[in-house]
Structure 1
């Protein structure tokens, strides 16, 4: 193993190999951000070097698991939740999601298994909701970070899913993919704010604020389109937000 990896172990990771491997998600983030100096040039570690690092720890600790089996997670830099869901949380989320008449077999919990973000998709007739750690709120004072798991599920199911099932997903052939996506995300949040099931007042306000923040933060995406000079209220008039 290269000297730079040995230095990584000694610098800030002074734990036994077994203890380190019990916190592989934290360690992976540190290694991803680690800057080393080699031949008077600074650089980050390559994926192969990081893999070699974990293989070495496996050997030291006597672990037999393969390197690609360390826990995967959705890294949102604190914007959304990053801790594995508890069984109680999964049960509560599952029961709430079923209120939108989605079949339980089409709800797929991915926390700790995949870094696939929470999201809904309807492709080739497959009605599928993926739920990951980011279904939980984050730590920032932004609308998106504050969204409760109920609000997040309402955004996906009342917002994206119902639009997809009714052929109302926002799409304008004169817009780019990113422009259509911005308006679809706004539509999903506004629709969930208005019609989401069993949401409290805070959930509904956060969802509405999420749509407004998306518009304010990404309005430049609409430059060059026919909606370039539209304000938030004018944009909402384009969206499918009335009760179906």
Structure 2
């Protein structure tokens, strides 16, 4: 199984208001209870206080909460995406003072779809997501974030694909499994560009032409995409 380093970003304390700073405490020593659900501004502080600006390519940031309702309800995590047009459109999963980057956005659209699902049947819902990247060859990838240890795992095709998948993807829960759909006919116009850059809404998806590619299956302790026959 291929995994990617999680790069977990922990923020134990942030001095949110001037009064806390004036009391003599430092950001490291002032304990602040984070709200149950973060605003985009709070999430941005949590993320940017710990990331390496060079490696993240986020010279500017416009963090937007793209969390699907079922992910929030089943995992207690929020997803925040940097939708600034000049950024690399990175996405972070945020909860309990931690933030971990999921997927890659540089050269593509970043995360385009995400669903909650107990992948390895350990009783904890994980986050399964699709994203696209690639400044040379556009490619789409499916991964899942294990919320027990915050590791990312690549979902491979079975049998293994011979070339990169270039269409962007939408994931759907169907009959208690995850179905994988390719988005077809997305023109290279600004409307299509903005839909994928900012994360497709339910209404956006209803207007798309989707072709089922396969279904995700847990087999021999690994998650695979089994293509449609």
Class of the TM-score when normalised by the shorter of the 2 chains: under 0.3
**Which structure has more strand as a fraction of its residues?**
2
Of structures 1 and 2, the one scoring higher in RCO (CA 8 A, sep 6+) is 2
TM-score by length of structure 1 reads 0.26
**Which structure has more helix as a fraction of its residues?**
1
TM-score by length of structure 2 reads 0.27
